[in-house]
Amino acid sequence: MPTRHLASTAGRRGGVTVNAAVAAIAVLAALAAAPAAQRAGAVGAGRPGTVRPVPAVVGSVNIQVQLPSPEPTSQCLTLFGIRCYTPLQYRTAYNLGGLYSSGITGRGRTIMIVDSFGSPTIQNDVHVFDQQFGFPDPQLRVVTAGQIPPFNKNDPTMVGWAEETTLDVEYAHAIAPGARIVLVETPVAETEGVTGFPEMMKAEQALIDQGVGDVISQSFGATENTFPGFDQGNFSSLLNLRYAFTDAFTRHVTVLAASGDAGATDAMSDGTTLYPYRVNSWPSSDPLVTSVGGAQLDLDNAGNRLQPDTVWNDGFGAGGGGRSGVFGRPAFQAGVSGTVGNHRGTPDISMSAAVDGGCWVYESFEPTGPGWEIFGGTSEATPIFSGIVALADQVAGRRLGDINPALYRLGKLSQNPNVAVATGILDITTGNNSFVGVTGFNAGLGYDLASGWGTVDAASFVRALAR
């Protein structure tokens, strides 16, 4: 499913919804008891309201009110008790300004985004988003991979995927404003197990074979344990879906996936119940994929860090990470074998994903009407990182393809005080991804199963990765 949403019953991997359709944790907050008109008035007037974020594990929590414009971080803290960020703050936090002023915007590169159903209003919504922040409209192409069912705003699964789609497109574009975006809409909701994956993988392979896409952003996933045969040690139902990734590897296309939003655990086949022990999810766990985990940022209104990033674990969700039950340790993780053991470890890198530190998204398909909402989850982190890779592709003048070997070399260099190389990798050393009673992993020096190598200073990282 997509990342979970805190607010929709659809979606599961990179967002926060605990269901099977959205990889974005739509951190939308629930409003307590007051009538809708009163609630909207309280928020719009800038007075403390009764909005409170609800943990994703509670299940679906649809927000009843959307704001007419984004609020600054300080106002979100006053109104909602959580931090909220704009893409302009992320540009400062990740040190992107110098790249943009040098003409490095992702120009000439293409980010492919794959989502079930898509959004019926994506062209309009990204335009309004761009106008709010002074961005150019993207070169956005929508590809329908099959017969997409008519959008039903009363179907929480379709709404959840539309939320995920909007988050993915707006934030990939915000980070790489010059890159082309190809949004691929598939006709079957990806949930747990194989459902929805055949349509997604077939669509990805077809476009890769046509030469479309330099970076693929996937804010969805399914717990490895939910694939048929897993309990018997037969992984064929999962492994038979990898053909799009082997195709991407051959054609030097970078593939990313969200690591999940439930820490060291994840959803069972029902899409809502979490396993009471450590598990991992695919495609994040695939060695041909770069797994993007979650960080929590503490920024002021201008985007300056008030303290170093920590592992995302704010009560609403936690960054996915751990050891795969399907894949053995890949060669690029040989240097961190003491941490991953004999298994593929995730994540590889982390970006902003916290709900307490969520991002503003504009959408107009909701039953409640158009407006701005706050989202979090590794469904946010993944499109952000796809933009970073697109920038590096432009600097390199070519597709970088599978970046994992280079990422791990840079990670090792970043830990060596005797090497004067600006890797752009910033270690995350605090926090853990324990969640709902399942003990996870602690962040520490170097690579760990809570944050990967940490996060990035894009000004240095983009150039180092391109080299």
Q: Of 16-20, 54-58, 434-438, 463-467, where does mean pLDDT reach its minimum?
A: 16-20
Strand partners, 31: 51
CA-closest candidate to residue 9, choices 34, 26, 32: 26
Confidence class of residue 247 from pLDDT cuts 50, 70 and 90?
A: very high
Confidence class of residue 420 from pLDDT cuts 50, 70 and 90?
A: low
- If one counts every other C-beta atom within 10 angstroms of the C-beta of residue 315, the result is 14
- Residue 419 has a pLDDT of 74
Q: For residues 317 and 261, what is the distance between their CA atoms, to the nearest angstrom?
A: 5
pLDDT in tens, 41-70: 222 223 233 333 434 333 332 333 478 999
- Residue 45 has a pLDDT of 28
Cα–chain center distance at 151: 23
Q: Of 17-26, 403-412, 447-456, where does mean pLDDT reach its minimum?
A: 17-26
Angle at CA of residue 424, ends 419 and 429, nearest 5°: 90
Angle at CA of residue 115, ends 113 and 119, nearest 5°: 100
Identify the helix (H) or strand (E) that includes residue 393: helix 378-396
CA-closest candidate to residue 23, choices 49, 36, 37, 4: 4
**For the residues 365-380, what does the mean pLDDT come to?**
92
pLDDT in tens, 126-150: 999 999 999 999 999 999 999 999 9
- Residue 79 has a pLDDT of 87
**For the residues 175-182, what does the mean pLDDT come to?**
98
Report the amino acid identity of residue 345.
Answer: G
The average confidence (pLDDT) of the chain is: 88
Return the CATH number of the domain spanning residue range 29-466. Answer: 3.40.50.200
Q: Indicate if the pLDDT at residue 299 is higher than 60.
A: yes
Identify the helix (H) or strand (E) that includes residue 374: strand 371-375
- Residue 66 has a pLDDT of 74
Share of the chain above pLDDT 90, in %: 82
Report the amino acid identity of residue 401.
Answer: G
- The structure tokens listed for 429 are 């050393």
Residue 24 has φ and ψ, to the nearest 5°, of: -135, 135
- Residue 417 has a pLDDT of 83
Q: Indicate if the pLDDT at residue 373 is higher than 60.
A: yes
The CA-atom distances, in angstroms, between 359 and each of 130, 180, 221, 354 are: 14, 22, 21, 9
Q: Indicate if the pLDDT at residue 458 is higher than 80.
A: yes
The CA-atom distances, in angstroms, between 57 and each of 196, 272, 375, 405, 433 are: 23, 8, 15, 35, 14
Share of the chain above pLDDT 70, in %: 86
Q: Of 3-7, 233-237, 393-397, 444-448, where does mean pLDDT reach its minimum?
A: 3-7
pLDDT in tens, 326-366: 999 999 999 999 999 999 999 999 999 999 999 999 999 98
Q: Indicate if the pLDDT at residue 2 is higher than 90.
A: no
- Residue 421 has a pLDDT of 76
Report the amino acid identity of residue 462.
Answer: V
Q: Of 52-56, 158-162, 228-232, where does mean pLDDT reach its minimum?
A: 52-56
153: CB partners within 8 A, 6+ apart: 159, 365, 366, 367
- If one counts every other C-beta atom within 10 angstroms of the C-beta of residue 467, the result is 11
- Residue 34 has a pLDDT of 27
**For the residues 145-165, what does the mean pLDDT come to?**
95
Q: For residues 316 and 26, what is the distance between their CA atoms, to the nearest angstrom?
A: 10
